[in-house]
Copies of this chain bind each other. A is one copy, B any other.
């Protein structure tokens, strides 16, 4: 293996102490890149804006003067926020010094770091420490790691401006001490395969490069015992699935991504022989792309604990997109940066701004894709079906992924749908008002447990009004769904998955498919078969967004007093507006959303009822959003099958005062159980019927036949669409 420049620099340095520059010059950003950045800082709009933004905030911090308080407050408190401000100021000041050459920035960083050099060695465990591993500057060590990740980058940029004495002081009393504390001093956390450990590894490893300390680098890459069982490389191999999916879901994937890309960038600069971007099948670039794929119109699918207002416009993604572009030169990252309207103040950010200005951007290829879950990709999957690559395409997300640890929801085989730029079939996300003091200090609310995580708050099967795994996520960690089939082909986009063990003795299988009929967005076919051990109550909720314009069946309405549906597992939060017992002829609900109509058409199993409800009961603090839902309920059956169709149709134009096709364009929906499968017949108002045949067997080559309406249907493989003669 060839010796990296860094290792060489280290070797030389140790041999010849006189050779200072190799010991002090920036190592996290290559010097050529830094020179170009300095020369062209004002040249490209996106970067120039970033420069101004950073300059403004750092200049403000400099006017405010050096404030390095003794740690005292928990998250949100003054000392907490001040130490956060400090690491951002260090990072900014370092880069601004490199860009402007203005020594004032370097001096500011130096003075602040000398303060930290005085303070840090005196610190023990943080006074406000909670259950989490205690930090020293912060109540949890995770924040200390983040301090180090940002701080050491700022330090690297100004280290060669220091006198040997100052450098020695800061090396020893700030960075080496922090790196020691966060690695061997905190070995339990450091050696986890968990994103908290990734932040620690990134901070410790980058410190190793800056201090030219191979021991720190080795710990960061391979764990405190350097066996490779832990550390960054093990995290790269195990925290993402082979498709670059992070098990906690899109919202936390965004957060977890940052230390991976930042440290990978540093590793590439110092130990290119590790080929970090290619490791484990190039999982890191894949992870950046999959994070972007897991969005609609730029907003992350709000699965598991997630704030629904979180988009690609976040620091983590500014870093990931810029570093990802520098590493791959994939021009589709440029169109994402354009949408973000931001980049980062590094050579990578400059490259993004320059190439964007040069018109090199290509559209990001949003596509139907299966994201397998688990280190080996065998713990279920997230199945994403897109009708097109457009921002307003119809996108169906089937949540067939694993539990996803403590932030995971009990939503096995659930789904959500977007269309025309709007969320149509929804996921509540988390019950939380981030950073809003009056809402439990911005932490997760108790309604996150009592509603948001519960199965009934999602679009999937509920058995006997209880949640998956009895509501115990650790149980769920061992029981992932099986993704049995996926096709993203334009011919027929479909996903089939199966879940066993979410409830004792209950197995359920679900096929979701996008079927283009005529011009508009595809209709969505939902076939859900439940096989139970004993008679039970099966609920299938649909959480939808929009205003009801039509209900096909008679309702018993609670118009003068509104009761609550249940007492636990989320049911205590559901107001019951009305109930009904529809038939196959009239089981429809139509609503309007964003100038388009949506009809949900059901084939109610025998003895089933339909409940129309709304979230918000038993919520005295007004912590919940009030959102409508429909629940299909079958009582007393052992096995059952739910067949449903969601049909986008028509348009409403307020400006032109025109309304088209506000009524469903489908005449009938039928389901026939055959010898070895299910056949669904969809009859449009205009045009010939469409038949969808779904074989129990998911094998690809197999032939299947069935009798439907006295006619023999033949198809090959798990699922097929058979347009009757005369159909388009």
Residues of A within 8 A of B (CB): 307, 309-311, 313-315, 433-439, 442, 547-551, 555, 557, 559-564, 575, 577-578, 590, 592, 614, 617-620, 622, 625-626, 652, 654-659, 662-663
Contacts and interface: CB of A to CB of B under 8 A. Distances in A.
A438 B655 contact: no
Given A435-B657, A436-B592, A614-B626, 19 more contacts: A310-B655, A314-B655, A433-B549, A435-B652, A435-B659, A436-B549, A436-B659, A437-B663, A438-B550, A547-B622, A559-B617, A559-B618, A560-B564, A561-B563, A561-B564, A562-B562, A562-B617, A577-B622, A626-B626
B439 A620 contact: no
Nearest to A311: B655
A435 to B, nearest CB: 4
Contacts of A436: 549, 592, 652, 659, 662
The 3 closest A-B pairs by CB, nearest first: A435-B659, A438-B550, A309-B654
A620 B557 contact: yes
5 contacts: A310-B655, A433-B592, A435-B657, A437-B662, A578-B620
A657 B549 contact: no
A564 B210 CA distance: 68
Contacts of A555: 620
Nearest to A573: B559
Contacts of A547: 622, 625
A560 B618 CA distance: 6
Given A435-B652, A617-B559, A442 B659 contact: yes
Contacts of A617: 559-560, 562
A155 to B, nearest CB: 24
Contacts of A656: 315
Contacts of A626: 614, 626
A73 B592 CA distance: 27
Contacts of A435: 652, 657-659, 662
Contacts of A307: 654
Nearest to A562: B562
A439 to B, nearest CB: 6
A617 B626 CA distance: 15
A590 B436 CA distance: 12
A559 B654 CA distance: 37
Given A561-B562, A562-B562, A659-B434, A622 B654 contact: no
B622 A551 contact: yes
B562 A575 contact: yes
Contacts of A549: 433, 436, 438-439
A575 to B, nearest CB: 7
A622 to B, nearest CB: 4
Contacts of A309: 654
Contacts of A564: 560-561
Contacts of A622: 547-548, 551, 577
Contacts of A655: 310-311, 313-314
A434 B662 CA distance: 11
In this complex, the member of A310, A311, A547, A563 whose beta carbon has the largest number of chain B beta carbons within 10 angstroms is A547
A659 B437 CA distance: 9
A15 B93 CA distance: 90
Contacts of A311: 654-655
Nearest to A318: B655
A549 to B, nearest CB: 5
A628 B346 CA distance: 48
Nearest to A597: B436
Given A314-B655, A564-B561, A663 B618 contact: no
In this complex, the member of A555, A590, A659 whose beta carbon has the largest number of chain B beta carbons within 10 angstroms is A659
A638 to B, nearest CB: 32
Contacts of A618: 559-560
A577 B622 CA distance: 9
A258 to B, nearest CB: 13
Nearest to A317: B655
Nearest to A312: B655
Contacts of A654: 307, 309-311, 434
Contacts of A652: 435-436
In this complex, the member of A548, A555, A562, A626 whose beta carbon has the largest number of chain B beta carbons within 10 angstroms is A562
A531 to B, nearest CB: 35
A46 B663 CA distance: 35
Nearest to A307: B654
A594 to B, nearest CB: 11
A452 to B, nearest CB: 15
Contacts of A314: 655, 657
Contact of A657 (B434, B561, B577, B657): B434
Nearest to A439: B549
A663 to B, nearest CB: 6
Contacts of A563: 561
Contacts of A557: 620
Given A307-B654, A547-B622, A655-B314, A663 B438 contact: yes
A444 to B, nearest CB: 15
